[in-house]
């Protein structure tokens, strides 16, 4: 137990300007924070490095210890002084406490046909970060935007973050790997903290920057800092800035980088890169995660965990049939372009704070600064803004819905009619999807094939275990839903225009609501043509509705199949074949396209040839999705999260990333 006798406390009038705290009295600061019921997290020596961990006393701090850092190399060294913060950022990032590596999100239980999903409360016990540097604070700011700055809030992060008290420390040295100056995040601490310390020979210059900070500061045994001390502090930090210089000139970097997607250097760095993922996990801003389920043997209870993942892992961008970024070079390019370029489009800032962790902790010493300078010459490029935000939903929050009807559409495809869905679905609109979960299975994005007053329909093709399990659901059974998610088909833009709908296979499901909407208000649209392709006549979905749309609803329905027997007198050939000779005036036309990516490319090309402007050719994309709201990072495509900014995009929006390999 610590005994504190500080005559000054409580009696001293609040200081004007910075105070001076004797080094030994830092213990008092620690004790005060702990008395507030906070765990104090600070630097301490462990396994030959200075990590962040819970500390209780000054003795836990690395007194008189500094570090040497270089690409792929980190060593501690004795300093010839008693400084407690005479080092630079180490392997640990503060996200360990605000965004832990492993978080239980939801407990799902199954009892007969009843299922339930219970969100897990975050551990929000108060903590204090002692020794956060400028770059660390900038990193927290970036996470604030990612997790709480858009329409979507991550409740776990929000709760943890709200309980952090930050004691910042000015950098009085720099490592060879630092480049905060280039990223505009440091070395000077500029806001985002409660208390700021600058270490001097005898102690600390101390300033408060928040109400809580001032309250605490007033309890400390301080004297006013002398002008010399203030000048000394400022001079040291200025010296640090000078030492770092400007290793990565940042002006126009995003555009320069995106203009070099085909640079040979990507392949060269992939020779050295082991794609181990260390850079992304050491990075204080990387936020990609993956869900895993742990189930008891009876399958009656399963816990859904969220854990750190990395775009460098081959499995990260996997969908049925392979990975979207099959080559290491694709994955390195994804990481670098996201961090330094497309992050701007998503969150209005760079994703890098220049802390240098990815350089020091790269086992093979790849230096991101060298790669950037080698790859990105000055070429401008015009960024575009993402379109409408869909309805919000948190990643751990499932609503259970009940199956009231099932319809076998084809041999492998079933339509489920669900009730008891989230009221939000009543506001849902065409093209949106839901994250659908069964206990023990990873949640899957399924597009909504019909909106009903008291529920929705999902048309699911049983391809993998989870989808097969969903197709096998019987009337009365339950499943978990999140949503509706994603944006919608821009029907408003189709009003008064000729609408062409081109789709294939299961792709008709997300467009079915569009057709319902059209039938509901047919007069608002010009000619409406539906071109629908399937593998064989037996694979056509919604046959009765196709019949009706064509016969009585004033929609020109053209069907084609890839192959058929002689008894089929309809068309045979790919779907574009249905209109690639049509002599159209594309000028007043808008197109909605959904199907396999190759088919959409063929269609887009043909439509463009008919004179339909790229901005009015809309496609819906499929990517690996886990959170559905742009928090897990799986579905990134260039600057977009397909789940949040899509799934519907115009060809104009996508530009040349549509159909490019490895994006």
Partner 1 sequence: MNETAALVAALNTSWFASGLSEKAQTRLAELGRRFTAEPGTELFREGESSDTFGILVHGRVALRTLVPERGDITILTVEPGDVYLWSALVPPYRASSTGTAIEPIESIIFEGAALRAALRDECELAAALYPRVLVAVARRLYATRLQMLDLFATQQVKEW
Partner 2 sequence: MATHATPAVHATPAVARPRVGVVKFASCDGCQLTLLDLEDELLSIVEHFEIVDFPEATSSRSEGPYDVLFVEGSVSEPAHLERIVDLRRRTRHLVTIGACATAGGIQALRNWGDHDAFRAGVYAHPEWVQSLARSTPIAEHVTVDAELRGCPIDPGQLVELLTALTTGRRPQLRDESVCMECKRRGVVCVMVGKGMPCLGQVTQTGCGAICPRFGRGCYGCFGPREQANAAGLTRHLQMAGDRSREEVGRLFAGFTAYNEPFRSMVTELGGTRTGRTGTVADAAPTTGGKR
3-state SS class at 92 = coil
CA dihedral 366, 367, 368, 369 (to 10 degrees): -160
Q: Segment contacting partner 2 (CB under 8 A): 211-219, 469-477, 583-591, 655-663? A: 469-477
Cβ(341)–Cβ(381) below 8 Å: no
Give the number of other CB atoms < 10 A from CB of residue 457: 18
Would you count residue 22 as binding partner 1 (CB under 8 A)?
A: no
* Paired tokens of 218: 């007033």
Q: Among residues 537 and 655, whose Cβ is nearest to partner 1?
A: 537
Q: Among residues 235 and 364, whose Cβ is nearest to partner 2?
A: 364
Would you count residue 598 as binding partner 1 (CB under 8 A)?
A: yes
Classify residue 476 as left (phi > 0), alpha (psi -120 to 50) or beta: left
**Residue 101 C-beta: closest distance to partner 2, Å:** 4
**Residue 539 C-beta: closest distance to partner 1, Å:** 6
Would you count residue 152 as binding partner 2 (CB under 8 A)?
A: no
Output 525-528 pairs: Cβ under 8 A, ≥24 positions apart.
Answer: 525/494, 525/495, 525/496, 525/497, 525/498, 525/499, 526/496, 526/497, 526/498, 526/499, 526/588, 527/498, 527/499, 527/556, 528/498, 528/499, 528/501, 528/554, 528/555, 528/556
Give the number of other CB atoms < 10 A from CB of residue 7: 8
Provide the β-strand partners of residue 295: 302
Q: Segment contacting partner 1 (CB under 8 A): 292-300, 522-530, 532-540, 545-553? A: 532-540
Please pick, from the candidates 6, 27, 46, 116, the single residue that binds partner 2 as defined by CB under 8 A.
46
Q: Segment contacting partner 2 (CB under 8 A): 226-234, 313-321, 341-349, 377-385? A: 313-321
DSSP string, 147-212: HHSSS---HHHHHHHHTEEEEEE--SS--TT--HHHHT--SS--SS-SEEEEE-SSEEEEEE-SHH
Would you count residue 5 as binding partner 1 (CB under 8 A)?
A: no
> Which positions from 359 through 388 interact with partner 2, judged by CB under 8 A?
360-365
Please pick, from the candidates 568, 585, 587, 615, the single residue that binds partner 1 as defined by CB under 8 A.
568
3-state SS class at 597 = helix
Cβ(129)–Cβ(54) below 8 Å: no
**140/146 Cα distance (integer angstroms):** 10
Binding pattern to partner 1, positions 488-517, x when CB under 8 A?
A: ----------------xxx-----------
Would you count residue 74 as binding partner 2 (CB under 8 A)?
A: yes
Would you count residue 293 as binding partner 2 (CB under 8 A)?
A: yes
Would you count residue 661 as binding partner 2 (CB under 8 A)?
A: no
**Residue 421 C-beta: closest distance to partner 2, Å:** 18
Binding partner at 463 among partner 2, partner 1, none, C-beta below 5 to 8 Å by kind:
partner 1
Would you count residue 576 as binding partner 1 (CB under 8 A)?
A: yes
DSSP string, 302-361: EEEEEEE--TTSGGGGEETTEETT-SHHHHHHHHHHIIIIIHHHHHSS-S-----HHHHT
**Residue 472 C-beta: closest distance to partner 2, Å:** 5
Would you count residue 47 as binding partner 2 (CB under 8 A)?
A: yes
Would you count residue 121 as binding partner 1 (CB under 8 A)?
A: no
Binding partner at 602 among partner 2, partner 1, none, C-beta below 5 to 8 Å by kind:
partner 1
CA distances from 130 to 28, 52, 212 (A): 13, 9, 15
Would you count residue 577 as binding partner 1 (CB under 8 A)?
A: yes
Would you count residue 322 as binding partner 2 (CB under 8 A)?
A: no
Q: Among residues 478 and 560, whose Cβ is nearest to partner 1?
A: 560
Please pick, from the candidates 278, 285, 394, 396, the single residue that binds partner 2 as defined by CB under 8 A.
278
Would you count residue 91 as binding partner 2 (CB under 8 A)?
A: yes
3-state SS class at 22 = strand
3-state SS class at 9 = coil
**359/368 Cα distance (integer angstroms):** 6
Would you count residue 271 as binding partner 2 (CB under 8 A)?
A: yes
* Paired tokens of 73: 């190399």
Please pick, from the candidates 9, 22, 36, 51, the single residue that binds partner 2 as defined by CB under 8 A.
51
CA distances from 583 to 91, 578, 609, 610 (A): 64, 12, 10, 7
Would you count residue 482 as binding partner 1 (CB under 8 A)?
A: no
Output 514-521 pairs: Cβ under 8 A, ≥24 positions apart.
Answer: 514/430, 514/431, 514/489, 514/592, 515/545, 515/549, 515/555, 516/450, 516/451, 517/430, 517/491, 518/553, 518/555, 519/549, 519/553, 519/555
> Which positions from 315 through 334 interact with partner 1, judged by CB under 8 A?
320-321
Please pick, from the candidates 99, 340, 441, 649, the single residue that binds partner 2 as defined by CB under 8 A.
441
Would you count residue 564 as binding partner 1 (CB under 8 A)?
A: yes
Would you count residue 469 as binding partner 1 (CB under 8 A)?
A: no
> Which positions from 371 through 430 interact with partner 1, judged by CB under 8 A?
412
Q: Segment contacting partner 2 (CB under 8 A): 291-299, 343-351, 409-417, 610-618? A: 291-299
Q: Which residues bind partner 1 (CB under 8 A)?
A: 320-321, 412, 461, 463-465, 504-506, 533-535, 539, 560, 562-566, 568-574, 576-578, 580-581, 583, 595-596, 598-599, 602
Q: Which residues bind partner 2 (CB under 8 A)?
A: 46-49, 51, 72-75, 91-92, 96, 101-102, 110, 113, 271-278, 281-282, 290, 292-300, 302, 307-310, 313-315, 328, 360-365, 438-442, 462, 464-466, 468-470, 472-474, 477
């Amino acid at each position: 137990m610590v005994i504190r006798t500080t005559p000054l406390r409580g009696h001293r009038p609040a200081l004007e300007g910075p105070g001076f705290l004797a080094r030994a009295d830092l213990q008092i600061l620690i004790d005060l924070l702990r008395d507030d019921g906070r765990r104090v997290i600070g630097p301490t020596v462990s396994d030959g490095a200075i990590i962040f961990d819970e500390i209780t006393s000054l003795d836990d701090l690395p007194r008189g210890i500094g570090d040497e850092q270089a690409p792929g190399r980190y060593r501690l060294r004795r300093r010839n002084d008693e400084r407690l913060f005479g080092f630079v950022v180490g392997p640990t990032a503060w996200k360990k406490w605000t965004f832990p590596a492993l978080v239980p999100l939801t407990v799902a239980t199954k009892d007969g046909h009843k299922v339930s999903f219970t969100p897990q409360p975050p551990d929000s016990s108060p903590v204090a970060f002692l020794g956060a540097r400028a770059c660390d604070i900038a990193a927290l700011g970036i996470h604030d935007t990612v997790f709480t700055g858009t329409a979507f809030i991550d409740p776990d992060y929000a709760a943890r973050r709200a309980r952090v008290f930050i004691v910042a420390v000015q950098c009085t040295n720099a490592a060879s790997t630092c480049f905060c100056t280039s990223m505009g995040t440091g070395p000077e601490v500029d806001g985002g903290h409660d208390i700021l310390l600058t270490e001097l020979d005898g102690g600390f210059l101390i300033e408060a920057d928040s109400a809580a900070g001032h309250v605490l500061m007033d309890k400390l045994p301080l004297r006013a800092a002398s002008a010399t001390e203030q000048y000394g502090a400022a001079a040291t930090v200025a010296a640090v800035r000078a030492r770092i210089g400007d290793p990565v000139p940042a002006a126009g970097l995003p555009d320069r980088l995106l203009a070099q997607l085909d640079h040979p250097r990507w392949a060269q760095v992939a020779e050295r890169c082991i794609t181990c993922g260390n850079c992304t996990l050491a990075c204080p801003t990387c936020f990609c995660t993956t869900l895993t389920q742990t189930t008891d043997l009876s399958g009656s209870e399963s816990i859904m965990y969220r854990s750190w993942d990395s775009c460098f892992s081959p499995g990260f961008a996997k969908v049925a049939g392979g990975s979207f970024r099959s080559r290491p070079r694709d994955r390195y390019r994804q990481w670098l372009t996201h961090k330094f370029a497309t992050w701007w489009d998503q969150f209005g800032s760079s994703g890098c704070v220049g802390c240098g962790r990815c350089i020091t902790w790269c086992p093979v010493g790849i230096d991101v600064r060298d790669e950037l300078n080698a790859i990105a010459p000055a070429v401008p490029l015009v960024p575009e803004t993402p379109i409408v935000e869909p309805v919000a939903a948190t990643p751990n929050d499932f609503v259970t819905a009940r199956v009231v009807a099932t319809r076998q559409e084809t041999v492998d495809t079933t339509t489920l009619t669900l009730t008891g869905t989230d009221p939000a679905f009543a506001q849902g609109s065409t093209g949106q999807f839901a994250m659908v979960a069964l206990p023990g299975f990873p949640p899957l994005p399924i597009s909504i094939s019909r909106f009903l007053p008291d529920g929705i329909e999902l048309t699911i093709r049983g391809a993998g275990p989870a989808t097969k399990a969903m197709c096998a659901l019987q009337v009365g059974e339950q499943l978990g839903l999140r949503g509706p998610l994603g944006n919608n088909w821009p029907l408003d833009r189709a009003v008064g225009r000729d609408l062409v709908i081109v789709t294939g296979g299961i792709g008709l499901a997300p467009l079915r609501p569009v057709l319902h909407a059209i039938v509901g208000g047919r007069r608002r649209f010009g000619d409406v043509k539906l071109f629908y392709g399937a593998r064989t006549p037996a694979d056509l979905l919604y046959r009765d509705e196709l019949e009706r749309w064509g016969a009585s609803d004033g929609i020109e329905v053209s069907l084609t199949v890839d192959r058929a027997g002689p008894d089929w007198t309809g068309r045979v050939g790919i779907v574009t074949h249905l209109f690639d000779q049509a002599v159209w005036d594309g000028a007043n036309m808008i197109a909605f396209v959904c199907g396999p990516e190759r088919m959409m490319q063929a269609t887009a090309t043909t439509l463009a040839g008919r004179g339909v402007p790229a901005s009015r050719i809309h496609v819906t994309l499929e990517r690996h999705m886990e959170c559905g709201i742009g928090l897990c990072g799986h579905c990134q495509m260039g600057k977009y999260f397909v789940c949040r900014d899509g799934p519907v995009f115009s060809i104009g929006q996508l530009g040349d990333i549509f159909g490019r390999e490895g994006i």
